[in-house]
């Protein structure tokens, strides 16, 4: 590797030319970001999403992993908005980002909020930290570890083409890095002529060398050193992700960097940067991708092909936040399900989350499993909680149902109380979008008779059941009397009182009590499957029950 050409005084001159506005020293900056006063072993981590307008399940997986690690260790979790790529930023994306994360209940101790920054280590939006990056960029320049490069797009693509022809590795490195050893006179001339410049690292790495590294999720690995003179500051003075990552995570005292494993190829460069800057290297956890089954093989979830990657999808489908949260724990920690079975009523936040249980290769996303987890979560909620959640959801996604729920909260609560609260609560609902079909029959304007009467009960018998029951139904009956009346009715019409009796001698009966109940169920609810019919009738009230029996009779 050739020695740097510029003398110390030339580098001093260059610093003054490139960073005339930098007055502070690195030491002064460091003093503004003192070490955090936390107990031994406390994890400091962050979510550092880019405001591209798309918040995805991967963000949540990463956020939840960091969140658990921080909060289980009495550490600090902060939100840093990585807005260095202005071209990719969508208007309103920062607000969407902050709102979406808040919706999913990731609670930050500091960072960017809708009202501005909160905490002592800000600003928490990278574009607002430009001055800080320049102080450290200037230090690298002075130490001969960085240099300005004036290459145009055309020159860079020319280098690329020549590398292709020569079958050499691509990139700006070694002999291809034309500004790496440029003499001061040439740099001065380019600056005088007003050429835009970027700042590049003067890499001392070689692809011949390997670095041993331990990632907390991936385990021991061997990385190839970085030999590319990557860009640190772009021509508008804004840092690249890499440079901002090193400076920010150092100044913010991040102990653990948790991120997607698409960043693994950049890791050698990051390690090099931390060393060049004299920073302690944080611990890294690179999370494997989310995958799904496609036929018999697994593939990564893709933004283009899989709507379920976007977090907005879960909101629109009506998955409660707690369900998504528990599902993510289920796929991240293989022992979560056992823990949940052993502790059915503890909040998920009490689960001892461990990054050691994460699969280095990534997790498999299964929609049906999510629905199952969600059914479990919803079955444990109180009727009031469900009511509140469905009001919030329907207000946005089903205004007609929202109006009915709001008009009579007592009725809605009675409906939602059916089968809830006991040892074995019903697991009817997996998402709030299923609520309409689950309870619409309770509301006259939404009631439709969806299913035909059972075909194995004759038209005459169906009519007889409906007519007789009309006369028998009494709103004040308790559950036992109610059922006894149906049994008596069944027997009087020639049906067996018990399915067992019928099975023992089918030729002696028209059917059994279940068939009679089914006729009544379909008449009253329009469906062959419904919550407990006694409770249903109670909530509907006598007038409505009789009117539905009449309606069913008239349709025969
Ligand atoms: N802004 C990066 C991203 O959105 C953050 C990666 C990291 O957590 O360091 O992928």
Indicate whether 36 pLDDT > 90: yes
Using DSSP's 3-state secondary structure scheme, residue 110 falls into strand
Q: What is the pLDDT of residues 424-472, one digit of tens each?
A: 888 999 999 999 999 999 999 999 988 999 999 999 999 999 999 999 9
The dihedral region occupied by 18, where left means phi > 0, alpha psi between -120 and 50, and beta the remainder, is alpha
**What topology does CATH give the domain 293-379?**
1.10.1160
Using DSSP's 3-state secondary structure scheme, residue 424 falls into coil
Residue 52: per-residue pLDDT: 84
Percent of the chain with pLDDT over 70: 99
Give CA 431 to chain center in angstroms: 16
Q: Give the residue from 225, 246, 251 showing the smallest Cα distance to 173.
A: 225
Give the CATH architecture of domain 33-124.
3-Layer(aba) Sandwich (3.40)
**CA 458 / ligand 1 centre spacing (Å):** 66
Q: What are the boundaries of each domain within the chain?
A: 8-26+130-287, 33-124, 293-379, 383-442, 459-555
For residue 245, which atom of ligand 1 is closest to its CA?
9
Indicate whether 511 pLDDT > 80: yes
**CA 264 / ligand 1 centre spacing (Å):** 12
**Choice among 51-55, 243-247, 271-275 with the minimum mean pLDDT:** 51-55
CB within 8 A of 238, min separation 6: which ones? Answer: 84, 86, 126, 127, 130
Task: Choose one of 47, 50, 246 to mutate for the ligand 1 pocket test, by most ligand atoms within 8 angstroms of C-beta.
Answer: 50
Mean pLDDT, range 69-75, rounded to an integer: 97
More reliable by pLDDT, 113 or 160: 160
- pLDDT band at residue 55 under the 50/70/90 scheme: confident
**CA 78 / ligand 1 centre spacing (Å):** 13
Residue 234: per-residue pLDDT: 97
Distance CA 530, CA 518 (A): 10
pTM: 0.89
Whether the link from the prior residue into 123 is cis, omega within 30° of 0, is yes
- pLDDT band at residue 265 under the 50/70/90 scheme: very high
What are the DSSP calls for 353-412, one per residue? --GGGS-TT-EE--HHHHHHHHHHHHHTS-HHHHHHHHHHHHHHH-HHHHHHHHH-HHHH
Residue 4: per-residue pLDDT: 64
Distance CA 414, CA 498 (A): 30
For residue 46, which atom of ligand 1 is closest to its CA?
8
Residue 3: per-residue pLDDT: 59
348: tokens are: 């998920």
Indicate whether 417 pLDDT > 60: yes
**What topology does CATH give the domain 459-555?**
Arc Repressor Mutant, subunit A (1.10.10)
Q: What is the pLDDT of residues 281-307, one digit of tens each?
A: 999 999 999 999 998 999 999 988 999
Angle, CA of 86, 92 and 93, to the nearest 5°: 60
Distance CA 238, CA 81 (A): 14
Q: Are strands 198-201 and 210-215 parallel, antiparallel or unpaired?
A: unpaired
Indicate whether 97 pLDDT > 90: no
Alpha carbon separation from 88 to 52, 91, 186 (Å, rounded): 6, 10, 34
Task: Choose one of 52, 64, 259, 286 to mutate for the ligand 1 pocket test, by most ligand atoms within 8 angstroms of C-beta.
Answer: 259
| 73: phi then psi, degrees, rounded to nearest 5 | -110, 10
> What is the number of other CB atoms lying within 10 angstroms of the CB of residue 327?
25
- pLDDT band at residue 91 under the 50/70/90 scheme: confident
**CA 90 / ligand 1 centre spacing (Å):** 17
Alpha carbon separation from 166 to 151, 161, 169, 173, 347 (Å, rounded): 20, 9, 9, 15, 61
Distance CA 195, CA 119 (A): 39
**CA 258 / ligand 1 centre spacing (Å):** 9
**CA 266 / ligand 1 centre spacing (Å):** 12
364: tokens are: 């498999």
Residue of the CA atom closest to atom 2 of ligand 1: 49
- pLDDT band at residue 93 under the 50/70/90 scheme: confident
**CA 230 / ligand 1 centre spacing (Å):** 18
Q: Give the residue from 43, 149, 137, 48 showing the smallest Cα distance to 101.
A: 48
Ligand 1 site residues (CB inside 6 A) read 48-50, 82, 241, 245, 257, 259, 263
Distance CA 355, CA 69 (A): 8
**CA 263 / ligand 1 centre spacing (Å):** 8
- pLDDT band at residue 89 under the 50/70/90 scheme: confident
For residue 49, which atom of ligand 1 is closest to its CA?
4
Task: Choose one of 63, 82, 129 to mutate for the ligand 1 pocket test, by most ligand atoms within 8 angstroms of C-beta.
Answer: 82
Instruction: Quote the mean pLDDT of the chain.
Output: 94
Q: What is the pLDDT of residues 349-395, one digit of tens each?
A: 999 999 999 999 999 999 999 999 999 999 999 999 999 999 999 99
- Order the strands of the 146-149 sheet from edge to edge: 146-149, 198-201, 231-233
> What is the number of other CB atoms lying within 10 angstroms of the CB of residue 74?
11
- pLDDT band at residue 2 under the 50/70/90 scheme: low
Residue 545: per-residue pLDDT: 97
**Choice among 63-77, 88-102, 227-241, 520-534 with the minimum mean pLDDT:** 88-102
Distance CA 496, CA 222 (A): 75
**CA 130 / ligand 1 centre spacing (Å):** 18
**CA 49 / ligand 1 centre spacing (Å):** 5
Residue 134: per-residue pLDDT: 98
- pLDDT band at residue 141 under the 50/70/90 scheme: very high
> What is the number of other CB atoms lying within 10 angstroms of the CB of residue 489?
20
Q: Using an 8 Å Cβ cutoff, are 199 and 232 in contact? A: yes
For residue 249, which atom of ligand 1 is closest to its CA?
9
Q: What is the pLDDT of residues 334-359, one digit of tens each?
A: 999 999 999 998 999 999 999 999 99
Residue of the CA atom closest to atom 4 of ligand 1: 49
Pick the CATH number of 8-26+130-287 from 3.65.10.10, 3.40.50.620, 3.40.50.720, 1.10.10.10: 3.40.50.620
- pLDDT band at residue 85 under the 50/70/90 scheme: confident
Q: Are strands 44-47 and 76-79 parallel, antiparallel or unpaired?
A: parallel
The answer to whether 8-26+130-287 and 33-124 have equal CATH topology is yes
């Amino acid at each position: 590797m050739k020695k740097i050409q510029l003398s110390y005084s030339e580098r001093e001159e260059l610093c003054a030319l490139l960073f005339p506005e930098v007055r502070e020293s690195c030491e002064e900056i460091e003093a503004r970001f003192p070490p955090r006063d936390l107990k031994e072993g406390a994890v400091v981590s962050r979510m550092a999403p880019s405001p591209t307008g798309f918040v995805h399940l991967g963000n949540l997986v990463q956020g939840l992993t960091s969140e658990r690690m921080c909060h289980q260790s009495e550490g600090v979790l902060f939100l840093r908005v990585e807005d260095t790529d202005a071209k990719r930023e969508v208007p309103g994306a920062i607000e969407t980002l902050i709102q979406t994360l808040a919706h999913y209940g990731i609670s930050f101790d500091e960072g960017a909020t809708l009202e501005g920054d909160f905490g002592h280590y800000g600003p928490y939006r990278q574009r607002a930290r430009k001055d800080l990056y320049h102080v450290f960029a200037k230090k690298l320049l002075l130490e001969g570890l960085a240099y300005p490069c004036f290459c145009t797009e055309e020159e860079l693509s020319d280098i690329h083409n020549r590398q292709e022809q020569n079958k050499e590795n691509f990139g700006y490195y070694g002999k291809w890095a034309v500004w790496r050893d440029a003499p001061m006179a040439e740099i001065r001339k380019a600056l005088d002529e007003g050429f835009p410049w970027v700042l590049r690292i003067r890499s001392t790495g070689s692809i011949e060398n390997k670095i041993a590294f331990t990632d907390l999720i991936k385990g021991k690995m061997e990385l190839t050193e970085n030999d590319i003179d990557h860009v640190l500051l772009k021509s508008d003075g804004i840092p690249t992700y890499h440079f901002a990552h090193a400076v920010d995570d150092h100044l913010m005292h991040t102990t653990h960097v948790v991120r997607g494993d698409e960043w693994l190829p950049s890791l050698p460069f990051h390690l090099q940067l931390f060393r060049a800057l004299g920073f302690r290297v944080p611990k890294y956890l690179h999370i494997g991708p989310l995958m799904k089954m496609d036929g018999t093989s697994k593939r990564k979830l893709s933004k283009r092909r899989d709507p379920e990657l976007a977090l907005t999808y879960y909101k629109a489908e009506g998955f409660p936040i707690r369900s998504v949260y528990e599902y993510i724990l289920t796929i991240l920690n293989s022992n979560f399900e056992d823990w949940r079975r052993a502790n059915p009523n503890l909040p998920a936040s009490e689960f001892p989350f461990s990054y050691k249980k994460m699969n280095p290769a990534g997790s498999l996303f299964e929609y049906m499993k999510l629905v199952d987890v969600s059914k479990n979560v919803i079955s444990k909620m109180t009727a009031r909680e469900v009511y509140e959640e469905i009001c919030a959801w329907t207000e946005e996604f089903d205004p007609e149902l929202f109006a009915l729920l709001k008009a009579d909260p007592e009725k809605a609560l009675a409906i939602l109380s059916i089968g809830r609260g006991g040892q074995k609560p019903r697991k009817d609902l997996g998402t709030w979008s299923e609520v309409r079909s689950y309870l619409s029959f309770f509301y006259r304007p939404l009631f439709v008779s969806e299913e035909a009467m059972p075909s194995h009960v004759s038209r005459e018998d169906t009519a007889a059941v409906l007519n007789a029951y009309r006369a028998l139904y009494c709103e004040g009956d308790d559950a036992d009397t109610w059922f006894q009346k149906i049994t008596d009715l069944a027997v009087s019409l020639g049906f067996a009182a018990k399915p067992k009796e019928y099975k023992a001698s089918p030729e002696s009966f028209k059917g059994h009590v279940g068939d009679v109940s089914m006729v009544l169920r379909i008449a009253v609810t329009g469906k062959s499957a419904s919550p407990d019919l006694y409770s249903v009738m109670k909530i509907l009230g006598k007038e409505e029950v009789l009117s539905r029996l009449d309606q069913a009779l008239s349709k025969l």
